[in-house]
A and B are shown apart, each in its own frame.
Chain A
Amino acid sequence: MAVLARIKLTPDEKTRLSGQMGTILEYIEKLEEVNTDDVEPTAHVLGINNVFRDDEPAEKPFADHNPISDSPAHDKGHYEVPQIL
Protein backbone atom coordinates (compact mmCIF):
# COMPACT_ATOMS: atom_id res chain seq x y z
CA MET A 1 0.00 0.00 0.00
CA ALA A 2 2.86 2.38 0.80
CA VAL A 3 4.13 1.83 -2.75
CA LEU A 4 0.70 2.63 -4.20
CA ALA A 5 0.53 5.73 -1.99
CA ARG A 6 4.07 6.73 -3.13
CA ILE A 7 5.39 6.91 0.42
CA LYS A 8 8.72 5.34 1.31
CA LEU A 9 8.54 4.02 4.87
CA THR A 10 11.47 3.21 7.14
CA PRO A 11 11.57 -0.42 8.41
CA ASP A 12 10.62 0.89 11.86
CA GLU A 13 7.59 2.73 10.47
CA LYS A 14 6.56 -0.33 8.49
CA THR A 15 6.42 -2.46 11.62
CA ARG A 16 4.59 0.13 13.69
CA LEU A 17 2.11 1.19 11.02
CA SER A 18 1.19 -2.34 9.96
CA GLY A 19 0.40 -3.23 13.59
CA GLN A 20 -1.77 -0.13 14.01
CA MET A 21 -3.40 -0.62 10.63
CA GLY A 22 -4.37 -4.16 11.63
CA THR A 23 -6.12 -2.87 14.77
CA ILE A 24 -7.92 -0.13 12.83
CA LEU A 25 -9.07 -2.48 10.05
CA GLU A 26 -10.31 -4.99 12.61
CA TYR A 27 -12.38 -2.20 14.17
CA ILE A 28 -13.70 -1.04 10.78
CA GLU A 29 -14.87 -4.55 9.98
CA LYS A 30 -17.72 -4.07 12.46
CA LEU A 31 -19.58 -2.44 9.55
CA GLU A 32 -20.22 -5.98 8.29
CA GLU A 33 -22.88 -6.23 11.03
CA VAL A 34 -25.00 -3.59 9.24
CA ASN A 35 -27.45 -4.77 6.60
CA THR A 36 -27.07 -2.43 3.61
CA ASP A 37 -28.76 -4.60 0.95
CA ASP A 38 -31.21 -1.97 -0.31
CA VAL A 39 -29.28 1.14 0.70
CA GLU A 40 -27.95 3.66 -1.80
CA PRO A 41 -24.42 4.99 -1.11
CA THR A 42 -24.02 8.66 -0.14
CA ALA A 43 -21.14 10.45 -1.84
CA HIS A 44 -22.43 13.92 -1.15
CA VAL A 45 -25.01 14.99 1.45
CA LEU A 46 -26.77 17.69 -0.54
CA GLY A 47 -27.20 15.63 -3.71
CA ILE A 48 -25.80 18.45 -5.85
CA ASN A 49 -24.54 17.33 -9.24
CA ASN A 50 -23.40 18.96 -12.47
CA VAL A 51 -22.95 22.55 -11.37
CA PHE A 52 -22.27 24.54 -14.52
CA ARG A 53 -21.01 28.04 -15.12
CA ASP A 54 -20.40 30.08 -18.25
CA ASP A 55 -17.02 29.40 -19.79
CA GLU A 56 -15.56 32.82 -19.19
CA PRO A 57 -12.07 33.52 -17.82
CA ALA A 58 -11.90 34.92 -14.30
CA GLU A 59 -10.65 38.44 -13.90
CA LYS A 60 -6.85 38.43 -13.70
CA PRO A 61 -6.39 34.98 -12.10
CA PHE A 62 -3.47 35.13 -9.63
CA ALA A 63 -2.84 38.73 -10.67
CA ASP A 64 0.81 38.94 -11.77
CA HIS A 65 1.84 35.71 -10.11
CA ASN A 66 3.62 33.02 -12.12
CA PRO A 67 2.70 29.68 -10.49
CA ILE A 68 5.88 28.00 -11.76
CA SER A 69 7.85 30.24 -9.40
CA ASP A 70 6.24 28.32 -6.48
CA SER A 71 8.04 25.14 -7.54
CA PRO A 72 10.93 23.94 -5.37
CA ALA A 73 12.93 23.43 -8.60
CA HIS A 74 12.32 25.34 -11.80
CA ASP A 75 14.37 26.78 -14.62
CA LYS A 76 13.48 29.14 -17.48
CA GLY A 77 9.74 28.79 -16.85
CA HIS A 78 9.82 24.97 -16.67
CA TYR A 79 9.49 22.53 -13.76
CA GLU A 80 12.68 20.56 -13.07
CA VAL A 81 12.35 16.88 -12.08
CA PRO A 82 14.73 13.93 -11.87
CA GLN A 83 15.10 11.50 -14.74
CA ILE A 84 11.82 9.86 -15.80
CA LEU A 85 13.07 7.14 -18.15
Chain B
Amino acid sequence: MHRSTITQARELLRQKKLSSVQLTEAVFARIDQVEDKVQAFVHLTREKALEQAQNADARIAAGEDAPLLGIPIAVKDLICTEGHRTTCSSKILDQFVPPYNATVVEKLHQAGAVIVGKTNMDEFAMGSSNENSFHHPTMNPWDLDRVPGGSSGGSSVAVSAHECVAALGSDTGGSIRQPASFCGVTGLKPTYGRVSRFGLVAFASSLDQIGPLTKTVADAATLMNVIGGKDPRDSTSADVLLPDFTQALQKNVKGMKVGIPKEYFSTGGINPDVEKAVQEGIRTLESLGMQTVEVSLPHLDYAVATYYIIACAEASTNLSRYDGVKYGYRADKSDTLVHMYENTREEGFGEEVKRRIILGTFVLSSGYYDAYYLKGQKVRTLIKQDFENALEQCDVIAAPVTPYPAFKLGEKLDDPLQMYLADIFTISANLAGIPAMSIPCGFANNLPVGLQLMGRHFDEAGLITVGHKFQQATDFHTKETPL
Protein backbone atom coordinates (compact mmCIF):
# COMPACT_ATOMS: atom_id res chain seq x y z
CA MET B 1 0.00 0.00 0.00
CA HIS B 2 2.83 2.39 0.95
CA ARG B 3 4.38 1.69 -2.46
CA SER B 4 1.57 3.39 -4.36
CA THR B 5 1.88 6.58 -6.38
CA ILE B 6 -0.34 9.64 -5.85
CA THR B 7 -2.42 8.60 -8.90
CA GLN B 8 -2.92 5.03 -7.62
CA ALA B 9 -3.63 6.04 -4.00
CA ARG B 10 -6.10 8.77 -5.00
CA GLU B 11 -8.01 6.24 -7.13
CA LEU B 12 -8.24 3.77 -4.20
CA LEU B 13 -9.28 6.57 -1.82
CA ARG B 14 -11.92 7.82 -4.26
CA GLN B 15 -13.35 4.32 -4.63
CA LYS B 16 -13.26 3.96 -0.82
CA LYS B 17 -11.17 0.80 -1.14
CA LEU B 18 -8.63 2.47 1.14
CA SER B 19 -8.83 5.14 3.82
CA SER B 20 -6.29 7.88 4.36
CA VAL B 21 -5.79 6.63 7.94
CA GLN B 22 -4.93 3.15 6.61
CA LEU B 23 -2.55 4.61 4.04
CA THR B 24 -0.92 6.93 6.59
CA GLU B 25 -0.51 4.07 9.08
CA ALA B 26 1.05 1.92 6.35
CA VAL B 27 3.52 4.70 5.57
CA PHE B 28 4.46 5.03 9.26
CA ALA B 29 4.83 1.24 9.54
CA ARG B 30 7.25 1.44 6.62
CA ILE B 31 9.09 4.34 8.31
CA ASP B 32 9.40 2.23 11.48
CA GLN B 33 10.82 -0.59 9.36
CA VAL B 34 13.49 1.29 7.36
CA GLU B 35 14.16 4.69 8.95
CA ASP B 36 16.96 3.36 11.20
CA LYS B 37 18.85 2.33 8.09
CA VAL B 38 18.36 5.42 5.90
CA GLN B 39 17.68 8.30 8.36
CA ALA B 40 15.72 10.34 5.82
CA PHE B 41 13.82 12.41 8.39
CA VAL B 42 14.82 15.08 10.87
CA HIS B 43 11.53 14.72 12.69
CA LEU B 44 8.19 13.04 12.18
CA THR B 45 4.77 14.57 12.77
CA ARG B 46 3.00 11.27 13.43
CA GLU B 47 0.11 12.45 15.62
CA LYS B 48 -0.68 15.50 13.52
CA ALA B 49 -0.50 13.35 10.37
CA LEU B 50 -3.05 10.89 11.72
CA GLU B 51 -5.32 13.81 12.62
CA GLN B 52 -4.96 15.17 9.07
CA ALA B 53 -5.70 11.68 7.69
CA GLN B 54 -8.90 11.47 9.76
CA ASN B 55 -9.91 14.90 8.44
CA ALA B 56 -9.19 13.76 4.90
CA ASP B 57 -11.35 10.67 5.39
CA ALA B 58 -14.19 12.86 6.65
CA ARG B 59 -13.83 15.11 3.59
CA ILE B 60 -13.82 12.06 1.30
CA ALA B 61 -16.91 10.66 3.06
CA ALA B 62 -18.62 14.02 2.48
CA GLY B 63 -18.01 13.57 -1.24
CA GLU B 64 -15.12 16.02 -1.56
CA ASP B 65 -12.37 15.61 -4.12
CA ALA B 66 -8.98 17.39 -4.05
CA PRO B 67 -5.70 16.57 -5.81
CA LEU B 68 -3.84 15.38 -2.68
CA LEU B 69 -6.75 14.51 -0.42
CA GLY B 70 -5.47 11.92 2.06
CA ILE B 71 -1.98 11.56 0.51
CA PRO B 72 1.07 11.33 2.87
CA ILE B 73 3.71 13.87 1.83
CA ALA B 74 7.17 14.63 3.28
CA VAL B 75 8.54 18.18 3.34
CA LYS B 76 12.18 19.26 3.25
CA ASP B 77 13.21 20.87 6.53
CA LEU B 78 13.82 24.34 5.10
CA ILE B 79 10.15 24.87 4.27
CA CYS B 80 8.36 26.56 7.19
CA THR B 81 5.67 24.54 8.95
CA GLU B 82 3.67 26.45 11.57
CA GLY B 83 4.11 24.99 15.04
CA HIS B 84 6.63 22.38 13.85
CA ARG B 85 10.39 22.77 14.05
CA THR B 86 12.07 23.91 10.82
CA THR B 87 15.80 23.46 11.36
CA CYS B 88 17.40 23.67 7.91
CA SER B 89 19.55 20.86 9.36
CA SER B 90 21.52 23.57 11.16
CA LYS B 91 22.41 24.00 14.82
CA ILE B 92 21.60 27.69 14.49
CA LEU B 93 17.92 26.90 13.74
CA ASP B 94 17.72 23.63 15.69
CA GLN B 95 14.98 24.83 18.05
CA PHE B 96 13.26 27.21 15.60
CA VAL B 97 9.48 26.80 15.41
CA PRO B 98 8.02 29.01 12.66
CA PRO B 99 4.91 30.99 13.57
CA TYR B 100 3.58 30.63 10.01
CA ASN B 101 3.34 28.18 7.10
CA ALA B 102 5.17 28.55 3.80
CA THR B 103 2.78 29.24 0.92
CA VAL B 104 3.47 25.75 -0.49
CA VAL B 105 2.53 24.19 2.87
CA GLU B 106 -0.74 26.14 2.92
CA LYS B 107 -1.38 24.87 -0.60
CA LEU B 108 -0.62 21.26 0.44
CA HIS B 109 -3.15 21.60 3.27
CA GLN B 110 -5.79 23.08 0.96
CA ALA B 111 -5.24 20.18 -1.44
CA GLY B 112 -5.84 17.74 1.43
CA ALA B 113 -2.30 16.41 1.96
CA VAL B 114 -1.16 14.61 5.11
CA ILE B 115 2.29 15.85 6.18
CA VAL B 116 4.30 12.96 7.67
CA GLY B 117 7.46 14.82 8.65
CA LYS B 118 10.40 17.03 7.78
CA THR B 119 13.28 15.57 5.80
CA ASN B 120 17.01 15.81 6.31
CA MET B 121 19.21 17.94 4.06
CA ASP B 122 22.62 19.52 3.79
CA GLU B 123 22.75 22.45 6.21
CA PHE B 124 21.01 25.46 4.58
CA ALA B 125 20.85 23.38 1.36
CA MET B 126 24.61 23.74 0.90
CA GLY B 127 25.94 20.43 -0.28
CA SER B 128 25.55 17.54 -2.67
CA SER B 129 25.62 14.55 -0.30
CA ASN B 130 23.48 15.26 2.81
CA GLU B 131 26.67 14.82 4.84
CA ASN B 132 26.58 18.51 5.84
CA SER B 133 23.55 17.99 8.08
CA PHE B 134 23.89 19.04 11.73
CA HIS B 135 21.61 16.14 12.73
CA HIS B 136 22.97 13.04 10.98
CA PRO B 137 23.83 11.80 7.48
CA THR B 138 21.20 10.13 5.28
CA MET B 139 21.95 6.84 3.51
CA ASN B 140 21.10 5.83 -0.05
CA PRO B 141 18.54 2.97 0.01
CA TRP B 142 20.16 1.43 -3.09
CA ASP B 143 23.45 1.02 -1.17
CA LEU B 144 23.62 2.09 2.48
CA ASP B 145 27.35 2.86 2.21
CA ARG B 146 26.61 5.58 -0.34
CA VAL B 147 25.24 9.11 -0.16
CA PRO B 148 21.72 9.90 -1.38
CA GLY B 149 22.91 13.13 -3.01
CA GLY B 150 21.85 16.53 -1.82
CA SER B 151 20.76 18.80 -0.70
CA SER B 152 17.22 17.32 -0.88
CA GLY B 153 18.66 13.90 0.02
CA GLY B 154 16.13 13.19 2.76
CA SER B 155 13.14 13.89 0.50
CA SER B 156 14.59 11.73 -2.30
CA VAL B 157 15.26 8.83 0.06
CA ALA B 158 11.83 9.12 1.69
CA VAL B 159 10.24 8.75 -1.78
CA SER B 160 12.48 5.93 -3.05
CA ALA B 161 12.21 3.97 0.24
CA HIS B 162 8.40 4.52 0.29
CA GLU B 163 8.45 6.45 3.57
CA CYS B 164 5.98 8.83 1.92
CA VAL B 165 4.02 8.88 -1.33
CA ALA B 166 5.69 12.08 -2.57
CA ALA B 167 7.84 14.90 -1.21
CA LEU B 168 8.82 18.52 -1.63
CA GLY B 169 12.44 19.57 -2.03
CA SER B 170 14.25 22.69 -3.16
CA ASP B 171 16.82 23.22 -5.91
CA THR B 172 19.42 26.00 -5.96
CA GLY B 173 22.08 24.28 -8.07
CA GLY B 174 20.72 20.76 -8.58
CA SER B 175 19.45 19.97 -5.08
CA ILE B 176 16.29 18.27 -6.39
CA ARG B 177 17.65 16.69 -9.58
CA GLN B 178 20.95 15.28 -8.31
CA PRO B 179 19.49 13.33 -5.34
CA ALA B 180 16.54 12.26 -7.55
CA SER B 181 19.11 10.83 -9.97
CA PHE B 182 21.11 9.13 -7.17
CA CYS B 183 17.96 7.61 -5.62
CA GLY B 184 16.07 6.62 -8.79
CA VAL B 185 13.09 8.96 -8.39
CA THR B 186 11.56 11.77 -10.46
CA GLY B 187 12.59 15.31 -9.48
CA LEU B 188 11.45 18.57 -11.08
CA LYS B 189 12.98 22.00 -10.58
CA PRO B 190 10.38 24.46 -11.87
CA THR B 191 11.14 27.70 -13.70
CA TYR B 192 12.43 30.40 -11.36
CA GLY B 193 9.31 32.29 -10.24
CA ARG B 194 6.85 29.47 -10.91
CA VAL B 195 6.51 28.44 -7.25
CA SER B 196 6.31 30.88 -4.34
CA ARG B 197 9.40 31.03 -2.11
CA PHE B 198 7.46 32.58 0.79
CA GLY B 199 8.39 30.52 3.84
CA LEU B 200 11.35 28.84 2.14
CA VAL B 201 14.46 29.56 4.21
CA ALA B 202 16.63 31.50 1.75
CA PHE B 203 20.01 30.25 0.51
CA ALA B 204 20.53 32.05 -2.83
CA SER B 205 17.40 34.04 -3.59
CA SER B 206 17.91 34.42 -7.36
CA LEU B 207 18.39 30.64 -7.81
CA ASP B 208 16.21 28.85 -5.19
CA GLN B 209 13.03 27.03 -6.31
CA ILE B 210 10.76 24.55 -4.51
CA GLY B 211 9.75 21.48 -6.52
CA PRO B 212 8.35 17.95 -6.32
CA LEU B 213 10.15 14.62 -5.76
CA THR B 214 7.86 11.80 -6.82
CA LYS B 215 7.67 8.19 -8.00
CA THR B 216 6.38 9.18 -11.45
CA VAL B 217 6.21 12.18 -13.78
CA ALA B 218 2.39 12.01 -13.56
CA ASP B 219 2.66 12.60 -9.80
CA ALA B 220 5.02 15.53 -10.40
CA ALA B 221 2.33 17.06 -12.65
CA THR B 222 -0.26 16.69 -9.87
CA LEU B 223 2.03 18.35 -7.30
CA MET B 224 2.93 21.18 -9.70
CA ASN B 225 -0.78 21.95 -10.11
CA VAL B 226 -0.99 22.32 -6.33
CA ILE B 227 2.17 24.31 -5.53
CA GLY B 228 2.53 26.58 -8.58
CA GLY B 229 1.24 30.10 -9.11
CA LYS B 230 1.76 33.79 -8.35
CA ASP B 231 1.87 34.66 -4.64
CA PRO B 232 1.46 38.26 -3.46
CA ARG B 233 3.82 37.40 -0.55
CA ASP B 234 6.70 36.59 -2.93
CA SER B 235 7.36 39.50 -5.28
CA THR B 236 9.64 37.29 -7.41
CA SER B 237 6.87 34.78 -8.13
CA ALA B 238 5.80 35.24 -11.73
CA ASP B 239 2.39 36.43 -12.83
CA VAL B 240 1.99 33.93 -15.66
CA LEU B 241 -0.77 31.48 -16.46
CA LEU B 242 -0.60 28.26 -14.44
CA PRO B 243 -1.68 25.52 -16.83
CA ASP B 244 -3.22 22.21 -15.78
CA PHE B 245 -0.03 20.15 -15.90
CA THR B 246 -1.93 16.85 -15.92
CA GLN B 247 -3.18 17.79 -19.41
CA ALA B 248 0.42 17.58 -20.58
CA LEU B 249 0.35 13.85 -19.77
CA GLN B 250 -2.04 13.29 -22.68
CA LYS B 251 0.09 15.00 -25.32
CA ASN B 252 2.19 13.23 -27.92
CA VAL B 253 5.92 13.75 -28.46
CA LYS B 254 6.00 12.82 -32.16
CA GLY B 255 7.79 15.51 -34.11
CA MET B 256 9.12 17.26 -31.00
CA LYS B 257 12.81 18.10 -31.14
CA VAL B 258 15.26 17.07 -28.45
CA GLY B 259 18.56 18.97 -28.32
CA ILE B 260 21.72 17.13 -27.37
CA PRO B 261 24.32 19.55 -25.97
CA LYS B 262 27.65 18.27 -27.20
CA GLU B 263 29.61 19.90 -24.35
CA TYR B 264 27.79 17.74 -21.78
CA PHE B 265 29.21 14.60 -23.33
CA SER B 266 32.71 15.83 -24.16
CA THR B 267 33.40 16.96 -20.59
CA GLY B 268 36.06 14.72 -19.10
CA GLY B 269 35.15 12.58 -16.13
CA ILE B 270 31.71 11.34 -17.13
CA ASN B 271 31.38 7.72 -16.00
CA PRO B 272 31.04 5.44 -19.09
CA ASP B 273 28.08 3.52 -17.61
CA VAL B 274 26.28 6.80 -16.86
CA GLU B 275 26.94 8.01 -20.40
CA LYS B 276 25.66 4.70 -21.82
CA ALA B 277 22.40 4.88 -19.80
CA VAL B 278 21.83 8.50 -20.87
CA GLN B 279 22.56 7.71 -24.55
CA GLU B 280 20.12 4.79 -24.38
CA GLY B 281 17.56 7.15 -22.84
CA ILE B 282 18.01 9.49 -25.79
CA ARG B 283 17.52 6.55 -28.19
CA THR B 284 14.26 5.76 -26.36
CA LEU B 285 13.12 9.34 -27.00
CA GLU B 286 13.97 8.85 -30.70
CA SER B 287 11.98 5.61 -30.77
CA LEU B 288 8.98 7.59 -29.46
CA GLY B 289 9.15 9.79 -32.54
CA MET B 290 11.30 12.64 -31.26
CA GLN B 291 13.93 14.09 -33.54
CA THR B 292 17.40 14.72 -32.10
CA VAL B 293 19.40 17.80 -33.00
CA GLU B 294 22.87 18.72 -31.80
CA VAL B 295 22.97 21.99 -29.86
CA SER B 296 25.79 23.89 -28.23
CA LEU B 297 26.04 25.42 -24.76
CA PRO B 298 29.54 26.85 -25.10
CA HIS B 299 29.84 28.38 -21.61
CA LEU B 300 29.19 25.13 -19.71
CA ASP B 301 32.79 25.07 -18.55
CA TYR B 302 32.30 28.36 -16.67
CA ALA B 303 29.03 27.45 -14.95
CA VAL B 304 30.49 26.05 -11.71
CA ALA B 305 32.70 29.11 -11.14
CA THR B 306 29.82 31.49 -11.95
CA TYR B 307 27.46 29.61 -9.70
CA TYR B 308 29.75 29.59 -6.67
CA ILE B 309 30.34 33.34 -6.94
CA ILE B 310 26.64 34.19 -7.19
CA ALA B 311 25.29 31.56 -4.78
CA CYS B 312 27.88 32.34 -2.08
CA ALA B 313 27.40 36.10 -2.47
CA GLU B 314 23.65 35.75 -2.00
CA ALA B 315 24.12 33.28 0.86
CA SER B 316 26.48 35.59 2.74
CA THR B 317 23.83 38.30 2.61
CA ASN B 318 20.88 36.04 3.43
CA LEU B 319 22.61 34.33 6.34
CA SER B 320 23.67 37.60 7.96
CA ARG B 321 20.28 37.53 9.72
CA TYR B 322 21.45 34.71 12.01
CA ASP B 323 22.93 36.86 14.75
CA GLY B 324 21.67 35.20 17.92
CA VAL B 325 19.32 38.09 18.71
CA LYS B 326 15.86 37.57 17.25
CA TYR B 327 15.56 33.77 16.96
CA GLY B 328 17.65 30.63 16.75
CA TYR B 329 20.81 29.68 18.63
CA ARG B 330 22.90 32.07 20.72
CA ALA B 331 26.36 31.30 22.11
CA ASP B 332 26.73 31.66 25.88
CA LYS B 333 28.99 34.06 27.66
CA SER B 334 30.09 36.77 25.27
CA ASP B 335 31.37 40.02 26.75
CA THR B 336 30.30 42.30 23.88
CA LEU B 337 27.65 42.31 21.18
CA VAL B 338 30.18 41.75 18.36
CA HIS B 339 31.73 38.80 20.20
CA MET B 340 28.24 37.38 20.70
CA TYR B 341 27.66 37.56 16.91
CA GLU B 342 31.03 35.95 16.19
CA ASN B 343 30.69 33.19 18.76
CA THR B 344 27.09 32.44 17.80
CA ARG B 345 27.96 32.08 14.11
CA GLU B 346 31.14 30.10 14.85
CA GLU B 347 29.23 27.60 16.99
CA GLY B 348 25.92 27.67 15.09
CA PHE B 349 27.10 27.13 11.49
CA GLY B 350 28.79 24.03 10.09
CA GLU B 351 32.03 24.21 8.13
CA GLU B 352 30.53 24.24 4.61
CA VAL B 353 28.20 27.10 5.52
CA LYS B 354 31.09 29.10 7.00
CA ARG B 355 33.17 28.43 3.89
CA ARG B 356 30.43 29.78 1.63
CA ILE B 357 29.62 32.81 3.80
CA ILE B 358 33.30 33.79 3.86
CA LEU B 359 33.69 33.21 0.10
CA GLY B 360 30.53 35.25 -0.51
CA THR B 361 31.76 38.03 1.76
CA PHE B 362 35.01 38.08 -0.20
CA VAL B 363 33.46 38.31 -3.69
CA LEU B 364 31.20 41.15 -2.54
CA SER B 365 33.92 43.07 -0.70
CA SER B 366 35.14 46.44 -1.83
CA GLY B 367 37.93 46.04 -4.40
CA TYR B 368 36.89 42.52 -5.45
CA TYR B 369 33.24 43.15 -6.35
CA ASP B 370 33.89 43.94 -10.03
CA ALA B 371 36.45 41.19 -10.55
CA TYR B 372 34.30 38.44 -9.07
CA TYR B 373 30.64 39.25 -8.45
CA LEU B 374 30.00 41.55 -11.42
CA LYS B 375 32.04 39.26 -13.69
CA GLY B 376 29.97 36.30 -12.47
CA GLN B 377 26.72 38.11 -13.24
CA LYS B 378 27.95 38.90 -16.75
CA VAL B 379 28.92 35.29 -17.44
CA ARG B 380 25.50 34.35 -16.08
CA THR B 381 23.98 36.42 -18.91
CA LEU B 382 26.04 34.45 -21.45
CA ILE B 383 24.96 31.10 -19.95
CA LYS B 384 21.31 32.19 -20.06
CA GLN B 385 21.72 33.27 -23.71
CA ASP B 386 23.28 29.87 -24.55
CA PHE B 387 20.10 28.16 -23.37
CA GLU B 388 17.81 30.64 -25.11
CA ASN B 389 19.68 30.06 -28.38
CA ALA B 390 19.71 26.27 -27.99
CA LEU B 391 16.00 26.15 -27.11
CA GLU B 392 15.18 27.98 -30.34
CA GLN B 393 16.42 24.91 -32.20
CA CYS B 394 14.67 22.31 -30.03
CA ASP B 395 11.75 21.84 -27.61
CA VAL B 396 13.70 20.21 -24.79
CA ILE B 397 17.37 19.52 -24.07
CA ALA B 398 18.43 16.05 -22.88
CA ALA B 399 21.64 15.55 -20.89
CA PRO B 400 23.12 13.69 -17.93
CA VAL B 401 22.21 14.91 -14.41
CA THR B 402 25.53 14.01 -12.80
CA PRO B 403 28.86 12.75 -14.14
CA TYR B 404 28.69 9.64 -11.92
CA PRO B 405 26.23 7.67 -9.78
CA ALA B 406 25.99 7.92 -5.96
CA PHE B 407 29.42 8.05 -4.32
CA LYS B 408 30.53 6.60 -0.98
CA LEU B 409 29.91 8.46 2.28
CA GLY B 410 33.00 10.46 3.17
CA GLU B 411 34.54 10.13 -0.31
CA LYS B 412 34.44 13.85 -1.23
CA LEU B 413 34.11 15.50 2.17
CA ASP B 414 37.69 16.78 2.38
CA ASP B 415 37.74 18.31 -1.08
CA PRO B 416 35.04 20.98 -1.46
CA LEU B 417 36.02 21.85 -5.04
CA GLN B 418 35.51 18.21 -6.16
CA MET B 419 32.11 18.26 -4.43
CA TYR B 420 31.21 21.50 -6.27
CA LEU B 421 32.26 20.03 -9.64
CA ALA B 422 29.71 17.23 -9.12
CA ASP B 423 27.07 19.88 -9.86
CA ILE B 424 28.44 20.80 -13.29
CA PHE B 425 25.45 19.49 -15.29
CA THR B 426 22.70 20.86 -13.03
CA ILE B 427 23.68 24.38 -12.02
CA SER B 428 23.32 25.99 -15.46
CA ALA B 429 19.53 25.53 -15.34
CA ASN B 430 19.41 27.55 -12.11
CA LEU B 431 21.64 30.28 -13.54
CA ALA B 432 19.38 30.46 -16.63
CA GLY B 433 16.19 30.11 -14.54
CA ILE B 434 14.78 27.38 -16.81
CA PRO B 435 12.82 24.30 -15.66
CA ALA B 436 14.69 20.98 -15.49
CA MET B 437 13.78 17.45 -14.49
CA SER B 438 15.57 14.22 -13.61
CA ILE B 439 13.92 10.90 -14.51
CA PRO B 440 15.39 7.41 -13.98
CA CYS B 441 16.94 6.12 -17.24
CA GLY B 442 19.04 3.12 -16.20
CA PHE B 443 21.66 1.82 -13.84
CA ALA B 444 25.43 2.04 -13.46
CA ASN B 445 26.83 -0.75 -11.31
CA ASN B 446 23.35 -1.32 -9.77
CA LEU B 447 23.00 2.36 -8.88
CA PRO B 448 20.29 4.51 -10.48
CA VAL B 449 21.15 6.99 -13.24
CA GLY B 450 19.01 10.00 -14.16
CA LEU B 451 18.27 11.58 -17.52
CA GLN B 452 17.99 15.36 -17.35
CA LEU B 453 15.41 17.20 -19.45
CA MET B 454 15.60 20.99 -19.61
CA GLY B 455 13.04 23.29 -21.23
CA ARG B 456 12.08 26.85 -22.02
CA HIS B 457 11.04 29.29 -19.27
CA PHE B 458 7.62 28.26 -17.91
CA ASP B 459 7.44 25.15 -20.14
CA GLU B 460 7.34 22.57 -17.34
CA ALA B 461 4.47 21.08 -19.37
CA GLY B 462 6.87 20.18 -22.20
CA LEU B 463 9.15 18.34 -19.76
CA ILE B 464 6.16 16.56 -18.25
CA THR B 465 4.93 15.42 -21.69
CA VAL B 466 8.34 14.03 -22.67
CA GLY B 467 9.06 12.54 -19.22
CA HIS B 468 5.68 10.83 -19.01
CA LYS B 469 5.98 9.29 -22.48
CA PHE B 470 9.47 8.09 -21.50
CA GLN B 471 8.08 6.44 -18.35
CA GLN B 472 5.29 4.79 -20.34
CA ALA B 473 7.95 3.23 -22.58
CA THR B 474 10.40 2.21 -19.81
CA ASP B 475 10.26 0.64 -16.34
CA PHE B 476 13.34 2.13 -14.62
CA HIS B 477 11.13 4.29 -12.39
CA THR B 478 9.33 1.19 -11.07
CA LYS B 479 12.50 -0.64 -9.94
CA GLU B 480 12.65 -1.20 -6.20
CA THR B 481 15.55 -0.60 -3.83
CA PRO B 482 16.89 -3.67 -1.95
CA LEU B 483 15.33 -2.32 1.26
Given contacts A39-B378, A41-B374, contact A70 B326 (CB under 8 A): yes
Q: How far is the CB of B276 from chain A (nearest CB, A)?
A: 29
> What's the least CB distance linking B435 to chain A, in Å?
12
Chain A CB within 8 A of B354 CB: yes
24 pairs, CB–CB < 8 Å, chain A vs chain B: A5-B316, A6-B338, A6-B341, A7-B354, A17-B355, A20-B355, A24-B417, A25-B359, A27-B304, A27-B305, A28-B372, A30-B305, A31-B305, A36-B375, A36-B379, A39-B381, A42-B378, A46-B457, A48-B193, A70-B97, A70-B326, A72-B329, A82-B334, A82-B337
Give the distance in Å from the alpha carbon of A81 to the alpha carbon of B343 in the complex: 13
Q: How many residues of B contact A (CB 8 A)?
A: 68
Report the nearest A residue to B192, measured CB to CB.
Answer: A45
- Say yes or no for B380: interface residue by CB 8 A criterion: yes
B63 within 8 A of partner (CB): no
| A69, B11: Cα distance in complex, Å | 45
Name B's A-contacting residues (CB within 8 A): 96-97, 99-100, 192-193, 206, 232, 235-236, 238, 299, 301-302, 304-306, 308-309, 316, 320, 323-330, 334-343, 345-346, 349, 351, 354-355, 357-359, 361-362, 365, 372, 374-382, 384, 416-417, 420, 432-433, 457
- B327 and A70 contact, CB distance less than 8 A: yes
Closest approach, in angstroms, between the C-beta of B153 and any C-beta of chain A? 22
Q: Does residue A11 face the partner (Cβ distance < 8 Å to B)?
A: no
A82:B416 contact, CB within 8 angstroms: no
A71–B325 contact, CB under 8 A? yes
A21 to B357, CA, bound (A): 11
Chain A, range 5-38, C-beta contacts under 8 Å to B: 5-10, 13, 17, 20-21, 23-25, 27-34, 36
Report yes or no: A81 in contact with B340, Cβ–Cβ below 8 A.
Answer: yes
Instruction: Please name all residues of chain B whose beta carbon is closer than 8 Å to the beta carbon of A44 when the two chains form the complex.
Output: 206, 236
Chain A: interface size category: 35 or more
Question: A30 to B302, Cβ gap below 8 A?
Answer: yes
Q: Are B305 and A48 in contact (CB under 8 A)?
A: no
Apart from A39-B379, A45-B192, A45-B432, list 15 A-B contacts with CB within 8 A. Answer: A21-B359, A24-B416, A27-B304, A30-B302, A31-B376, A32-B375, A36-B379, A39-B381, A42-B380, A70-B326, A70-B327, A79-B325, A81-B325, A82-B335, A82-B340
Find residues 35-85 in chain A having any chain B CB closer than 8 Å to their own CB: 36, 39-46, 48, 51, 53, 62-63, 65, 67, 70-73, 79, 81-84
Contacts of A83 in B (CB 8 A): 335-337
What is the chain B residue whose CB lies nearest that of A18? B358
What does DSSP make chain A's interface, helix, strand, loop or mixed? loop
User: Are A17 and B235 touching (Cβ within 8 A)?
Assistant: no
In chain A, what residue has the closest Cβ to B362?
A1
Q: Which of A5, A21, A33, A41 has the most C-beta atoms of chain B within 10 angstroms of its own C-beta?
A: A5
Q: Within the assembled complex, what's the spacing in Å between the Cα atoms of A42 and B314?
A: 13
A41 touches B378 (CB 8 A): yes
CB-defined contacts of B301 to chain A, threshold 8 Å: 30
State A44–B237 Cα separation when bound (angstroms).
Answer: 12
Residue numbers in B under 8 Å from A42 (CB-CB): 377-378, 380-381, 384
